[in-house]
Structure 1
Amino acid sequence: MLIKSLAASVPLLGSVIASPSRYSSAYLINGDQPPFKPSDQKTSPAKGPSFDFDWVTPSVNLDSLSIAAYALQESYDASNWFSKFQVENIPDPTHGYVNYVDQATAQSKGLYRTQNNQVYIGVDAKTTLNPNGVGRDSVRLMSKRAYTHGLIIADFAHVPGSNCGSWPAFWMVGPNWPNQGEIDIYEGVHLNTYNQMTLHSSPGCVPVYNQNGGQSGAHVSEADCGAGGGFNGCGVQSNVATSYGTAFNARGGGVYATLWTSSGIKVWYFPTDSVPGNIRSNTPDPSTWGTPQANFAGCDFDAKFSNMNIVFDITFCGDWAGGVWGSTSCAQINPSCNAYVASQPQSFGDSYWLVNSVKVYSV
């Protein structure tokens, strides 16, 4: 967890971003929906100050479990959030136009707070900036507790809106990336309305997507989750047009549930008016939830994914959002992603997370 030189520890991805094999000129949704994301470097060794983690390794790891087997391990909410998440005041490993501030700065500027029993995690939406400067103030969080396996249920009242230049993510990552993996549960860029769920690993994890009930989303990127040394990942795009950003918020929020076992990783999305009753009653039973959005199976998941922390961030431009900028309608407003983000603070008034809770159950 030591901060290392990004120049030394993170390969530059200019050649990857320019590769035709990593980009399609056919944006599927409203002219602005990339069919898959380019290299995702959220998991550079530059992870911020070191601190002790409480490693959690549940002893049972089968998909077909009784309700009683899902025991609540941790509940993150407004009552305990600040003591259970570390604010990461680090350079952005994805090379974004962003300034991840420390906790004192974030709280003094109102970017990180609790309100109405919810947790607010936002960005500076007031300041006009120099496009050649460090970037827009934002907050990046990592849980102090790490997990191997689990049922992770995130209840969001609001997610960052679909805005040109933005790249928010809710994800999990191991300490020795890519060897202990990364699970991107919620992620997208610019004007997207469809969420993308992606795994990153060391080479050799090639999931199949038609086992154990299949999935409703579409596999849209690499076959090997370790492609490009783990940077490219293997992604699944949701088939629900309200699964991301502004459209998600228009439904009144919702829940993302991720089941991670030895046999695979599944992700479900539920709009707030369709959340299963057993989630609301804290007795979750994935066997009753229907087909997941993403269903990664057929890999040695225990060898590729372990000891993962929960992360929230909102960055701008950088490797993905900046890399595809010129192919989106956003470039018609300003040819430079950084320049747009610098000059349009008012565009990011809805770039914030409002979290009801994140609950982790053992499996």
Structure 2
Amino acid sequence: MIFRAAIASIPLLGSAVASPLNQPPLKPSDQKVSPARGPSFIFNETSPTVEPDFHIESVQAYSLQETYDASNWFSKFDVENVCSPAHGFVNYVNQATAQSKGLYRTQNNQVYIGVDSSTVLSPNGVGRDSVRLKSNQAYTHGLVIADFAHVPGSICGSWPAFWMVGPNWPNQGEIDIYEGVHLNTYNQMTLHSSPGCVPVYDQNGGQTGTHVSEADCGAGGGFNGCGVLSNSPTSYGTAFNANGGGVYATLWTSSGIKVWNFAARDVPANIRSGNPDPNTWGTPQANFAGCNFDAQFSNMNIIFDITFCGDWAGAVWGTTSCASINPSCNAYVAQQPQSFGESYWLVNSIKVYSV
């Protein structure tokens, strides 16, 4: 079982602050959490110091390792019929159920991954039907380029994510590429690791986003993570879709992890042509450097999910305008199925290049 609770840390123990301008309520990570409440982990107190490198890797050819698209998607991803590790109000269904209900399908050469948006539920039940996917292939390093026609909208109660995680969490790490909750339109990119990974963020043009949450990506036994909040108000949810969709590109090497976001109209020609060159893409939104990445991030699978409430969205519900509609996150999600018609991924492709 993948410990998805790591993504947003466990239930909030410190106070949350409402976020202006549709920025996401920060992950509830102000107070350390007992490791006994999560998976076992090994403290890595002797990780060697790595000099930060804020430069893009030298010019090189990136070799296409894998393409995921409508032609092969179902054979390359497993549908995970599991209880929500993030304690969400969600029912992750199996592949047969997902396909029979139309929650998981291909259409117009795109892959649709959605949720039930028609059934009124009991707030005390199992939660809203959704689909959780994990790639069969795992990766150590890579250039991952995800082309989205549509992402789950900015909706009260929702918590979608596109991410990568290793099997021995947190010792093999986690990279949250696209993630947020409720009505926000700013994406948050977060790393989770064993203790001892303290990235350096260049303050002179190394990234356009803002460092939020912990300094150590392993704080709280890995639950809290270290995040970067995008400065783009169209990087997440409904605003991303209204802006025409687009691409998230993640470059993961021994020296660092960098994330870019491009609106569809601004996707670099070398990405479209299949010859990506990060040297030409400008400043990334997130630029994590200065850790022993090879010791703390490896063997990661690609994950898609859409959950509701739970350890992040549920914990900050009361600090958002959503609580004025219903004081309970679970009750809102249960009783307002029509709100979730826009809670779906529509994927053109994901391409993974070796580095």
Normalised to the residue count of structure 1, the TM-score between the two structures is 0.88
Give distance in 2, aligned partners of 1:159 and 1:215: 23
CA contact 1:67–1:283 (8 Å) conserved in 2: no
5+ residue gaps, structure 1: 46-61
What residue is the counterpart of 2:112 in the other structure? 120
CA contact 2:18–2:320 (8 Å) conserved in 1: no
CA contact 2:142–2:251 (8 Å) conserved in 1: yes
Equivalences for 1:1-363 in 2 at 5 Å? 13-14=10-11, 17-20=12-15, 23=16, 25-30=17-22, 33-34=24-25, 36-38=26-28, 63-68=56-61, 70-210=62-202, 214-363=206-355
CA contact 2:14–2:28 (8 Å) conserved in 1: no
Give distance in 1, aligned partners of 2:341 and 2:318: 24
1:203-236 deviations in Å (ceiling 9; x for gaps): 0000011089510000011000001100000000
CA contact 2:172–2:296 (8 Å) conserved in 1: yes
Matched to 2:28, the amino acid is P
Give distance in 2, aligned partners of 1:165 and 1:26: 15
Give distance in 2, aligned partners of 1:33 and 1:73: 34
Give distance in 2, aligned partners of 1:160 and 1:345: 14
Give distance in 2, aligned partners of 1:318 and 1:302: 31
- Higher RCO (CA 8 Å, separation ≥ 6 residues): 2
User: By how many angstroms is 1:26 displaced?
Assistant: 4.4
SS state of the match for residue 357, structure 1? strand
CA contact 2:137–2:301 (8 Å) conserved in 1: yes
Give distance in 2, aligned partners of 1:146 and 1:261: 15
Give distance in 2, aligned partners of 1:33 and 1:174: 26
SS state of the match for residue 18, structure 1? coil
SS state of the match for residue 235, structure 1? strand
User: By how many angstroms is 1:64 displaced?
Assistant: 1.9
Point out 4+ residue stretches in structure 1 off by more than 4 angstroms. none
CA contact 2:115–2:343 (8 Å) conserved in 1: yes
5+ residue gaps, structure 2: 40-54
User: By how many angstroms is 1:63 displaced?
Assistant: 4.6
User: By how many angstroms is 1:19 displaced?
Assistant: 1.3
1:282-309 deviations in Å (ceiling 9; x for gaps): 0000000000000000010001100000
CA contact 2:92–2:130 (8 Å) conserved in 1: yes
Cα RMSD of the aligned pairs, angstroms, is: 2.3
Give distance in 2, aligned partners of 1:111 and 1:247: 23
Matched residue pairs, number?
334
Give distance in 1, aligned partners of 2:56 and 2:137: 23
SS state of the match for residue 220, structure 1? strand
Give distance in 2, aligned partners of 1:353 and 1:13: 25
Give distance in 2, aligned partners of 1:33 and 1:304: 27
SS state of the match for residue 261, structure 2? strand
User: By how many angstroms is 1:29 displaced?
Assistant: 2.0
What residue is the counterpart of 2:52 in the other structure? none
Matched to 1:290, the amino acid is G
Normalised to the residue count of structure 2, the TM-score between the two structures is 0.90
Give distance in 1, aligned partners of 2:215 and 2:332: 34
CA contact 2:18–2:319 (8 Å) conserved in 1: no
Give distance in 1, aligned partners of 2:28 and 2:162: 17
Give distance in 2, aligned partners of 1:73 and 1:212: 33
